[in-house]
Homo-oligomer: A and B are copies of this chain.
Amino acid sequence: MISPKSPSRTRGPKAHRVEPDQILDAAERVFAARGLQAASVRAIAAEAACDASLIYYHFDSKETLFLALLDRLLPALHQELARLSAEVERPVVERLWETLRLYHRHMGHRAGLRAIIKGELVRGAEGLQREIGGRLVRNAEQVANILRQGIEEGAIRPELEPRLGAFFLLKTFIETLDLVPRLGVFLNEPVKPDIPKAIQSWFQLYWRGVATDPLTPLPALPPLSEF
Contacts and interface: CB of A to CB of B under 8 A. Distances in A.
Interface string A102-131: 000000000000000001111111000010
Contacts of A130: 185-186
A217 B187 CA distance: 35
A154 interface: no
Interface stretch (A5-13, A62-70, A88-96, A207-215): A207-215
Contact of A134 (B136, B188, B210): B188
Contact of A186 (B133, B164, B206): B133
B124 A35 contact: yes
Interface string A189-227: 000000000100110111111100011000000000000
A182 interface: yes
A183 B215 CA distance: 32
A137 interface: yes
A72 to B, nearest CB: 21
Contact of A214 (B122, B159, B215): B215
Contacts of A163: 183, 187
Given A163-B183, A208-B210, 11 more contacts: A134-B188, A137-B186, A159-B201, A160-B201, A164-B201, A168-B202, A172-B172, A207-B209, A208-B214, A209-B209, A214-B214
